[in-house]
Amino acid sequence: MPLKDMMSKVSELTGTATETAGKIVKEFNETLPTMRELGFTISDLQIGMGLIPEISAKLIASTDTIDVKKIKELIEKHQDNKTLVGVLNALQAGYNVKQEISDLPLKGVEVAVKLGLPPHISVGFVSSMPAAK
């Protein structure tokens, strides 16, 4: 009986992980058109499966293509997409810090997104524009 209960629990967890992975993929897909609109392309994509599935991606763009004013508009327009708003808020914060450090010759911006529990978003600026893969 205990083995049967354990197998039932494993099956339940697998179903939950699959459902969570589907939600993560849907949110990520809904984020991409807006990020492309800002000039970003995907340079790396990783998928991790376990009790908690995760998707990690690196989005890259030239700093010249980013319209900082448009980021605020997009945040207001897409309030229902928490993933996109999180990415845009991180990008906006990154640009605010970058403006305070004026003498750096930074030509590229990289946004690393990890969707899982917990989600994590980081923004980095690089001296040369990384090549899209």
pLDDT band of residue 88 (cuts 50, 70, 90) is very high
Count the domains in the chain: 1
| 119-131 pLDDT, tens digit each | 889 999 888 765 5
The rounded percent of the chain whose pLDDT value lies above 70 is 80
Q: Span 54-71, mean pLDDT?
A: 88
Tens of pLDDT, residues 20-41:
667 777 888 888 999 999 999 9
Within a domain: 56: yes
DSSP assignment of the chain, as one string? -HHHHHHHHHHHHHHHHHHHHHHHHHHHHHHHHHHHHTT-EEEEEEEE-SSS-EEEEEEEEEGGG--HHHHHHHHHHTTT-HHHHHHHHHHHHHHHHHHHSTT----EEEEEEEESSS-EEEEEEESSPPPP-
pTM comes to 0.75
Question: Is residue 95 in a domain?
Answer: yes
Residue 132 maps to a domain: no
Range of the domain at 114: 2-126
